[in-house]
Amino acid sequence: MADKSKLDEFGLIAELLAPLADNEAADGLTDDAARVAVPQGHELVISTDTLVAGVHFPEHGDAALVANRLLACNISDLAAKGATPFGCLLTLGVAETWGRAFVTSFVEALGQGLKAYGLQLWGGDTVRSQTAFVGLTVHGLVPHGSMLTRGGAQDGDDVYVTGTIGDAFLDMPESGAAYAAPTPPLAFGLGLRGLAHAAVDVSDGLLADLDHMCRASGGGMVIEAAAIPLSEAGRSHGNLAELVGAGDDLEIAFTAAQDKADALTALAEHHGIGLTRIGSFQKAAAPQAVLRDADGADITPQQRGFRHF
């Protein structure tokens, strides 16, 4: 049975969220705006994600799962930009099914995540909603002119991806770790500044996100099916086309010049993450990622990735 104990908007802010807030910027969440000074020589990188119950997380998923996924989806955006987490604004759409116990657990898990990522809470908004949802607008910092973009891939670049592909999709029914507690390769992403030409976080699905990079960079990719990194569970699944079209991996796909291979390998080893070259980028090709088998035949997945509409 859902927890229906009384939850008041201002009590939620004062009792639960204010202790998480950065007092210098947010004045303990007593105002309706925050003031933030950007360190000299840096630029703000701003991204936002909204997660809706029954779409982006299980409708009756536990509070920690919701908080962990909210943070990870947003940190993943910063990781792919080479940005250091700085601050955030939180939006809560509280449904009747979310009583005090649920929201208290959510805020507790959120606070742990904010601390782990060094992310300050600056403010946000709370509303009642028929369908529960959560949103986060994150702000990161990069040295001036150093943000990684989707549009910087250069002719002849190698295409890489971190980690393994498809594990979040395989874990989702059981809320396994890859889905419920993802860990985007943030530190590795910071190290990509000056090494990668273009980058994107793998959230909608590997092929769909590579397509985003192709369109932004004005070229195409040939992706070697046999090179795509899979876990043991992914290999056992046996349907690569399904895995590359699934979302929520929260890895980084990027391009880099061929002469950066040794430096990238060393960076991955330093941070203890897997890194795999999966293909190449060509300016003359059509702006999409083509999945190709070992015999040179194209593989056409039924679905290239998650579509929001």
DSSP letters spanning 15-40? IIIGGGB-HHHHGGGTSS----PPPT
- Please state which CATH number belongs to domain 9-30+39-143: 3.30.1330.10
For residues 35 and 143, what is the distance between their CA atoms, to the nearest angstrom? 20
Q: Do domains 9-30+39-143 and 158-299 have the same CATH topology?
A: no
What are 70's two structure tokens? Answer: 């909210």
What are 234's two structure tokens? Answer: 């992914």
Residue whose C-alpha is closest to residue 169's, from 100, 90, 251: 251
For residues 178 and 28, what is the distance between their CA atoms, to the nearest angstrom? 34
CB atoms under 10 Å from CB of 143, counted, come to 14
Cβ-contact 169, 205 below 8 angstroms? no
Q: Would you give per-residue pLDDT tens digits along the chain (309 residues)?
A: 445 556 677 778 888 888 888 767 777 788 888 889 999 999 999 999 999 999 999 888 899 999 999 999 999 999 999 999 999 999 999 999 899 999 999 999 999 999 999 999 999 999 999 999 999 999 999 999 999 999 999 999 999 999 999 999 997 544 457 888 899 999 999 999 999 999 999 999 999 999 999 999 999 999 999 999 999 999 999 999 999 998 899 999 999 999 999 999 999 999 999 999 999 999 999 999 999 999 999 998 888 877 766
Which residue is associated with the tokens 């959560």? 134
Cβ-contact 231, 176 below 8 angstroms? no
For residues 233 and 169, what is the distance between their CA atoms, to the nearest angstrom? 11
The pLDDT value recorded for residue 175 is: 44
Q: Which residues pair with 127 in a beta bridge?
A: 93
- Tally the C-alpha atoms within 13 A of residue 160's C-alpha that lie toward its C-beta: 29
The pLDDT value recorded for residue 65 is: 94
- List the alpha helices (DSSP H) in the chain: 9-11, 23-26, 63-81, 100-117, 167-171, 177-180, 186-191, 206-217, 232-237, 240-245, 261-271
The pLDDT value recorded for residue 220 is: 98
With H, G, I as helix, E, B as strand and everything else as coil, classify residue 201. strand
What are 64's two structure tokens? Answer: 């920690």
What are 139's two structure tokens? Answer: 């702000």
- Tally the C-alpha atoms within 13 A of residue 199's C-alpha that lie toward its C-beta: 30
The pLDDT value recorded for residue 136 is: 98
Q: Where are the domains of the chain?
A: 9-30+39-143, 158-299
Give me the CATH topology for the region 158-299. Phosphoribosyl-aminoimidazole Synthetase; Chain A, domain 2 (3.90.650)
